[in-house]
Structure 1
Amino acid sequence: MERRTITPRPDWQRTVEEQGLVYPLTRHPDGSLRPYWDESAHYVFPLDEIEALEETVGELHRMCLEAAGHIVTAGRLPDLGITDPRVAAAVTEAWYRRDELPSVYGRFDLRYDGTGPAKLLEYNADTPTSLVEAASPQWFWMEDRFPGADQWNSLHERLVGAWTRQAALLPPGPLYFAHSSEDEAGEDLMTVAYLKETAEQAGLDTDWISMEEIGWDALSGRFVDNRLRFIRSVFKLYPWEWLTTDRFAGHVLDTLDNGGGTGSTLWIEPAWKMLLSNKALLAVLWELYPGHPHLLPARLDGPGDLADGPGWVAKPLLGREGAGITVHEPGSDPAPRDEPCCYQALAPLPEFDGNRVVLGAWTVEDEPAGLGIRESSGLVTDEYARFLPHVIL
């Protein structure tokens, strides 16, 4: 693994915007606009490293499914903050019926520097973003700059294949694609637009709607679109913890199609994906696989003995884009946070040319599917991170 600088393509911003990346710049706290898509450098991997990373991602995904099953069968949903009996029942039923429910994609965040085993930082298999840039613009960048080279990137064909295989699990009518209209940057919108495109290429009938436009028809007891048509299936880029706590949560649970022909609305990703997008999963994994080379020590009851090690990180169970994460050096105050957190051993992100790097490794269905790389200035990968393309040489 190596970071190399390179001259950006002329008119790179217009190029990536035309390829779906309509958020190529990020506004920073000082008001400046700086590249989010950063092709002034790129990462180079030998093939054997990529093959090893693919094996790691496949193994981690299998371990996560084992941990999810343990959480359900051992009655540990409260460890994830899932204490509402109706939500717990929905998650449990979805887990046992998961073969009947469409499930599309997820993203592992890994610590890796090319010299030792990759370490799992977290897994988001409910609402992961940075998909568009990983699947499309970085592939076209490679074709422009390194024709004949390769890239760990089978995202597009795997997504089309996933929709094709799972079409039989969908009810009649269009599959709606929804995101929140409160997304100002356009990332959620374009992620949903790209997934909608892959579904259409698989031959599915699709339609648009925002989460805020979804209506409730009290007469029929059904969710409807803005033309009062029943919504039988919807892919939502909207976290389950919001879906089950906002003002329509009762209707969601009352009408939930969880397989087996019950309910009137099928939501994708399914409710069991809450098990894979909660930081408590990291602690459960460490309990089930202590000392595993691809895991970091983690626990839920406070930092404990982690405070005696190289440092520790406190992660809110449902935080995203680094929100709420705090990094604690050795010897710092071991007092637990007030909010529920997962406490994980500190493994500082590797530094390349002064940049902190995290690998985003994608899964589609149950298979490794591609790689996206983000850089940040600090130890926490936050909303000011930059996306850099990669190539296999």
Structure 2
Amino acid sequence: MRRVPIAERADWRVSAESFGFRFHTIDGAPYWDESAYFAFSLEQIERDIEAPTLELHGMAMDLVGEIVASEFLMHRLGIPEHYRDWIARSWREGAPHLYGRMDLAYDGRGPAKLYELNYDTPTSLYEAAFFQWLWLEQQIERGALPRGADQYNLIQEHVVETFATIARRLPRPLYFSAVRDSPEDQGTIAYLADCAAQAGLATRTIAIEDIGLAADGRFTDLDDAPIRALFKLYPLEFMFADSFGAALPGADLVLIEPPWKASLSNKGILPLLWERHRGHPNLLPAFFDDRPEVDLPRGWVRKPLLSREGANIELHGDAGERLRSDGPYGDSPCIRQAFHPLVEFGGGYPLVGSWVVGDRASGIGVREDDSPITRDTARFVPHAIV
């Protein structure tokens, strides 16, 4: 694994705008960064990322049935009691799911280490699935990359195939929804709606703020038509806290991602995985924060169960370094995970996001931050297999 400087395409911003990638720059700072790329060997991809991704995903999925059958474990994960039967029922009925992203620390040598699972509303999909592939093709065409260069990226292909597979179980049309004023989220659902259309699904979009609730308990669009299938780029825990959330268990509604993803989109899954697979080479020791009897390594990282985008992380390095990020999750229960630093490349710290689509390892995207804590200000840097 190497970070390789490369000349930017002179027209990449025009290209991004033309393809709907309007969040390439956020608050005046670059989000998409093609001044370099991360180079991997095929062996690194297949042995150190793809194979562990499949194994870790299988381990996590094996835990879901145990979690949803246990009031104690759902309480441990902070899942509100009102939603537990609904979540368990969605698992028993095999409610379909589309995708997830696991974040891995990887330095090109040792085993990749799982930082966390993002299995409800994973972001950076469009740029990983589509725009970095376009970058690869154009850089090869222009001679900046060798003809034999490739990319670990079957994400879009697998997304379309998975939509086609689950289409048989979805009422029509499939609505796509996100917060109205988030360019990144709106761009992501527009991309996913296009993938669903390629799979033959009828689609519509609606802002999450515009979804209504009828007197009979059904969710509706702006024309008062019932919404019976909804892809929501909006966290389940936010839905639970919203005023309409209490109606979810009784609504005639198929959600993607499904309710049972509440058991995986939660950092409490990390100590549960460690308890059941202690010593696994791709796991870090992790414990619920209310277990003072547990002897942690000297270095550890405290993470709220439901924090996002690196918020409210407290890092205690094994050499005595301290780092803390702000955020809105200060009152949340936490877990502690053994400290395992990201590799540093000239002041940048890359985190590998490994995508699972329809239970298949499908590709990666690399986000790079100036801090060892990967925050919402991290840059997306493309990769290539060379």
Distance in 2, matches of 1:306 and 1:190, equals: 44
Where does residue 325 of structure 2 map in the other structure?
A: none
Deviations 1:7-27 (A, max 9, x none): 111022222222332111132
Displacement over 4 Å in runs of 4+? 302-308, 330-333
For residues 359 and 93 of structure 1, the distance between their equivalents in structure 2, rounded to whole angstroms, comes to 33
Out of 44, 56, 60, which is 2:52 matched to? 56
Aligned to 2:153: 153
Residue of 195, 198, 201 corresponding to 1:201? 198
Per-residue CA deviation, residues 292-343 of structure 1 (Å, 9 max, x unaligned), is: 000000000347577752411111101110011111234799xxx8530111
Whether 1:352 aligns to 2:348 is no
CA distance in structure 2 between the aligned counterparts of 1:389 and 1:303, rounded to whole angstroms: 40
Q: Secondary structure at the match of 1:162?
A: helix
Separation in 1, partners of 2:80, 2:333: 13
Distance 1:103 1:320 in 2: 21
- Superposed, 1:177-216 pairs within 5 Å as 177-183=176-182, 186-216=183-213
The amino acid across from 1:102 in the alignment is: P
The answer on 1:38 being equivalent to 2:33 is yes
TM-superposition CA deviations, 1:360-388 (whole Å, max 9, x none): 00010100011000111111000110000
Q: Distance between the aligned counterparts of 1:329 and 1:8, measured in 2?
A: 35
**1:263-274 aligned within 5 A:** 264-274=252-262
Q: Return the alpha-carbon distance in structure 2 between the equivalents of residues 61 and 280 of structure 1.
A: 15
Q: Which shifted more, 5-14 or 129-138?
A: 5-14
List runs of 5+ in structure 1 lacking aligned partners.
Answer: 28-32, 256-263
Aligned length: 370
Q: Aligned letter for 2:192?
A: L
2:144 — aligned with what?
A: none
Helix, strand or coil at the partner of 1:347: coil
State how far apart, in whole Å, the 1-side matches of 2:375 and 2:348 are. Answer: 13
CA contact (8 A) 2:219 2:226 kept: yes
Question: Which one-letter code corresponds to 1:37 in the other structure?
Answer: W
| Shift in Å, 1:353 | 2.0
How far 1:69 moved relative to its partner?
2.3
CA distance in 2, matches of 1:160, 1:392: 24
Distance 2:154 2:77 in 1: 32
Partner of 1:319: 307
Segment drifting more, 196-205 vs 65-74: 65-74
What secondary structure sits across from 1:69 in the alignment? helix
Please state if 1:138 is matched with 2:170: no
Shift of 1:244: 1.6
Q: Structure 1 221/91 Cα, relative in aligned 2: closer, same or farther at 3 Å? A: closer
Q: 1:1-393 maps to which residues of 2 (within 5 A)?
A: 1-27=1-27, 33-52=28-47, 53-75=49-71, 76-84=73-81, 86-98=82-94, 101-147=95-141, 148=147, 149-171=149-171, 173-183=172-182, 186-218=183-215, 220-255=216-251, 264-302=252-290, 304=292, 309-330=297-318, 339-393=332-386
The answer on whether the counterparts of 2:173 and 2:203 sit within 8 Å (CA) in structure 1 is yes
The 8 Å contact of residues 151 and 385 in structure 2, kept in 1 or not, is answered as yes
Question: Aligned letter for 1:383?
Answer: D
Report the CA distance between 1:168 and its aligned residue. Answer: 0.7
- SS of the counterpart of 1:209? strand
After superposition, the C-alpha distances for 1:271-291 in whole angstroms (9 at most, x for unaligned) are 001111100000000000001
Q: Any conservation in 1 of the 2:232–2:255 contact (CA below 8 Å)?
A: yes
Check whether the contact 2:68–2:84 (CA below 8 A) recurs between aligned residues.
Answer: no
Normalising by structure 1, we get a TM-score of 0.90
Moved more, 10-19 or 197-206: 10-19
TM-score by length of 2: 0.92
Tell me the distance in 2 between the aligned counterparts of 1:305 and 1:359.
33
1:216 positional shift: 1.6
Cα drift, residue 150 of structure 1: 1.0
| Identity %, equivalent residues | 44
Distance verdict in 2 for CA 1:212–1:356, change over 3 Å: same
CA–CA distance in structure 2, aligned partners of residues 150 and 74 of structure 1: 45
What is the aligned-residue RMSD (CA, Å)? 1.7
Q: Structure 2: how far apart are the matches of 1:80 and 1:203? A: 37
- Paired with 2:134 and 2:181, the residues of 1 have a C-alpha distance of 30
Deviation for aligned residue 1:47: 0.6
SS of equivalent to 1:123: strand
Q: Distance in 1 between matches of 2:110 and 2:17?
A: 36
